[in-house]
Structure 1
Amino acid sequence: MTLEIVTAPALTGLRHGFFTRKGGASSGVFAGLNCGYGSSDLTEAVTINRDRVASAMQVAAQALVGVHQVHSANVVTVAAPPETAVEADALVTATPGLALTVLTADCQPVLFADRKAGVIAAAHAGWRGTLAGILEATVAAMVALGAQRKDITAVIGPAISQRAYEVGDEFMDTFLTEDPAFDRFFAGGPNGKPMFDLPGFGLYRLREAGVGNAEWTRHCTYSDPTLFYSYRRTTQLGQADYGRLISAIRL
């Protein structure tokens, strides 16, 4: 099966992609392009899937650079593939030939580029990381490599949308304690519980960080099981595990 990859016109000229689950070797609950070694999927299947991603990105498999994601605001700047896993949630580079990658299954995958400076980044931004400042930290790390905020384009890929993201009052209170104005990212849901706008919050944080262009592809991971893995959907269905989507960008 052919890979199906979401790309962003705003990143035209750079090889990148928000890979869907189409075109993979995994089966069962992981059916498709599961790229997470942290899942209970067969290691061999995940390796085949990642090899297909590397081929699509036109790099060797070892040039797919990722981190051990921990829902933090930690960013790592790389000039070569790290020899050991680094705990972080974003990567930045100015080195051609490296494909920066993040894994998601409802959280926001965010790809960044300053074409003029030749600096790119990829971030994993769930609600914890976004609230903690992962997006601002990624932009700052790009600036440290020579990027200009006004020249940075940031694209949020497939993520859980507000219409599918029911949360509790304590969750909302965590945000309102940080800033009461964050109430605009919550709406009343059909069950009387708040619905959180994660991509909307991500776009706000990116724009506040001064990036020249920030947008969302407007794909909801929860709502399209044929294209996307979703942690929340898997949990609601009572399944034992879930696949991880990969997003990548390279100079």
Structure 2
Amino acid sequence: MNHVWSWSTWEGQPYLTTDLLSPWPHGFFTAQSWPQTPETLTPGLASPAMVYRAQQVHGNRIVQPEDFPPGVSVDPLAVNGMETLTPPRPEADGVMSTAAGQALWVCSADCTPALIADGETGQAVAVHAGWRGTAQKIVPLAIARMQAQGSDLADLRVALGPAIAGQVYQVSTQVAVEVGRSLLGEDAETEEAAILKHLSQGEAPPILPDPQPGRVRLDVRRILARQLTQLGLEAEQVAIAPHCTYQEPERFFSYRRTKEKKVQWSGIVSC
């Protein structure tokens, strides 16, 4: 099933949405929102809502609101979007809701922002999935956390936002193999050549050839889609944004393209 992706605008700032997540206020914002933060962007999605964003570290930890020190979660309406306290944010690459009205955010500049929602409970998770987090199965771990809190796989919806596309994402074969092992069982053949061959086959392969020796092209979103299929999600439960951060400089920051440490934000509000 091909899900519909649409552009919306809030105060002149474009953001991308998908019909798959239509019950949840959500948005994949662009470079035009820089240098705003989730505290100022959240009113564009839902108001009021409590804002949660972690200190991203390219790992696979998932946190919940109770993991945040007092003062980190800020009501943007109460303080005009400005944080008045500065305790350290928890180090994590995923934030999961525990109640309605919680705005969950991640930032990215080539990595994949994944927004996950439960159509039965209204629960949501925002995940930052770079190649390292994908190799550590952060999205399957987020779904496992949701299941532990009562979610059924059949009720889940996953949107993978704008990220660098496989056609232009050159990585070493070692990186590709590390990510690819996330799709293989413990007893599977683990030699590098065998893994690369396996991942280069089939429809929409996540690994493409590269003319430079020792390099391949890696499509992280295709790896994530295969991880979700292995968990038991159907194709209609997953939407992949038709946008590449590297190839669309007019819309998105790309660290691979410019080496600038600028990001775009993606958020979802639990129902």
- Is TM (by shorter chain) over 0.5? yes
CA–CA separation in structure 1 for the residues paired with 2:63 and 2:39: 23
Q: CA 1:176 to 1:108, structure 2 compared with 1: closer, same or farther past 3 Å?
A: closer
- 1:21 maps to a residue whose letter is A
Following superposition of structure 1 onto structure 2, how do residues 1-251 of structure 1 map, counting pairs within 5 Å? 2-22=12-32, 24=33, 33-34=34-35, 46=36, 49-59=37-47, 63-78=50-65, 82-83=69-70, 84-175=88-179, 179=184, 180=195, 181-184=198-201, 185-191=206-212, 193-212=215-234, 213-235=237-259, 241-251=260-270
Is the Cα–Cα contact under 8 Å of residues 175 and 182 in structure 1 kept in the other structure? no
Higher helix proportion: 1
CA–CA separation in structure 2 for the residues paired with 1:55 and 1:103: 17
1:97 to partner: Cα distance = 1.4
Task: Name the SS of the counterpart of 1:128 in structure 2.
Answer: helix
1:151 to partner: Cα distance = 0.8
CA–CA separation in structure 1 for the residues paired with 2:54 and 2:146: 17
More displaced stretch, 127-136 vs 181-190 = 181-190
TM-score calculated relative to the size of structure 1: 0.81
CA–CA separation in structure 2 for the residues paired with 1:242 and 1:21: 12
TM-score calculated relative to the size of structure 2: 0.76
Q: CA 1:210 to 1:78, structure 2 compared with 1: closer, same or farther past 3 Å?
A: farther
Is the Cα–Cα contact under 8 Å of residues 176 and 183 in structure 1 kept in the other structure? no
More displaced stretch, 199-208 vs 106-115 = 199-208
Task: Name the SS of the counterpart of 1:167 in structure 2.
Answer: strand
Question: Unaligned regions of 5+ residues in structure 2, if any?
Answer: 1-10, 71-87, 185-194
Larger radius of gyration: 2
Is the Cα–Cα contact under 8 Å of residues 79 and 93 in structure 1 kept in the other structure? no
RMSD across aligned C-alpha pairs, in angstroms?
2.1
CA–CA separation in structure 2 for the residues paired with 1:10 and 1:154: 8
Q: CA 1:173 to 1:10, structure 2 compared with 1: closer, same or farther past 3 Å?
A: closer
CA offsets, 1:81-138, max 9 Å, x none? 6434111111111311110000100000000111212211110000110111101110
Task: Name the SS of the counterpart of 2:150 in structure 1.
Answer: coil
CA–CA separation in structure 1 for the residues paired with 2:207 and 2:136: 18
Question: Unaligned regions of 5+ residues in structure 1, if any?
Answer: 25-32, 35-45, 236-240
Paired position in structure 2 for 1:238: none
| Percent of paired sites with the same residue | 29
1:176 to partner: Cα distance = 5.4
CA–CA separation in structure 1 for the residues paired with 2:38 and 2:97: 20
CA–CA separation in structure 1 for the residues paired with 2:142 and 2:116: 9
CA–CA separation in structure 1 for the residues paired with 2:69 and 2:225: 30
- 1:216 maps to a residue whose letter is I
1:80 to partner: Cα distance = 8.4
Is the Cα–Cα contact under 8 Å of residues 94 and 145 in structure 1 kept in the other structure? no
1:190 to partner: Cα distance = 4.6
